[in-house]
Amino acid sequence: MKSYFLKIAVLFIVPVSISLAAATCNIASIKGRYAYLVYGTQRPAESFNAVGTTIFDGNGHFTSSGSSVLNDVPSEYTSAGDYLVFKDCSVRINETLSDTGSNLQFGVLANGGKKIFAVSREPGKNFSLIYEKQ
């Protein structure tokens, strides 16, 4: 009798736990206005920090604006680009900056898409980025 109840419990518990563990992210998981913080270095050992906002449209496109400081020199910038969200909640953000070229980022969604943690994958740039939904 004990093994019968154990088998029934396994039939119900295992599928539920598997479905809860499966990620359910998609392109619409990122939508709306996010504040962001960027910090790191750029070759040749120049410090870089930036803050601003990004608006993700939920369809794979975004626009951004912000302020940055590169080696104690402040500037304003804008950018735009596209992004992908994968089922495992990883993301790829391909940004074209108004003044300095491109920035390819890889990251993960956290807190149901309310946060994005990313790193830059451009040669010579060692940036960490945190986006948070406003």
Give the tens place of pLDDT for each residue, 87-127.
999 999 999 988 768 889 999 999 999 999 999 988 888 99
Q: How far apart are CA 38 and CA 18, in angstroms?
A: 35
pLDDT digits over 36-52, tens only?
999 999 888 789 999 99
The one-letter code for the residue type at 76 is E
% of the chain at pLDDT higher than 90: 66
Going by pLDDT thresholds of 50, 70 and 90, the confidence category of residue 2 is low
Provide the pLDDT for residue 3. 54
pTM of the model: 0.80
> Within the chain, where are the H helices?
2-21
Task: Select the more confidently predicted residue: 44 or 9.
Answer: 44
pLDDT of 17 higher than 70: no
Query: What is the DSSP code string of 33-99?
Result: EEEEEEEEEETTTEEEEEEEEEEEESSSEEEEEEEEEETTEEEEEEEEEEEEE-TTSEEEEEEEETT
Q: Regarding the domain with residue range 27-133, which homologous superfamily does it belong to in the CATH classification?
A: Quinohemoprotein amine dehydrogenase alpha subunit, domain 2 (2.40.128.120)
Judge contact between 127 and 48, C-beta under 8 A.
yes
| CA terminus-to-terminus distance, the chain | 54
Residues 6 or more apart whose CB falls under 8 angstroms from that of 111 comprise none
